[in-house]
Amino acid sequence: MSRKRDLQALLRGMSAQLVEEIYVLVTIPEGAMPQNLKPRIIFREALGITLIVLQDEAVVHRLPQEFSSHMITLNVHSSLDWHGLQRAL
């Protein structure tokens, strides 16, 4: 399947999928990543590292939870430059 760029074709082919597990935001200091933690997303910021992890994992590792939510995944096969990402020179 080729990566699509046409907006109407992208919208027609898009489907949303609710992920049942609950995810939370967690902020930790640099170098304090618990072993065996599997973050979905990692943001490295000036004040520390913000993670999006499963709530169950945050509880097991006794991490402070700042926000909880379900995740919705949009399934679509598109070109990355359509999203505004460009190849580095």
Give the start-end residues of each E strand in 1-89.
15-28, 41-45, 48-54, 67-75
What does pTM read for this prediction? 0.70
Residue environment code for 33-58, b if the CB has 16+ CB neighbours within 10 A, otherwise e: ebeebebeeeeeeeeebbbbbbbebb
pLDDT along the chain (89 residues), means of 10: 66 87 93 91 90 96 94 78 57
Q: What φ, ψ does residue 81 adopt, rounded to 5°?
A: -70, -15
Q: What is the DSSP letter of 60?
A: H
In order of their start, the domains of the chain are: 16-76 (3.30.2130.10)
pLDDT for the residue numbered 87:
61
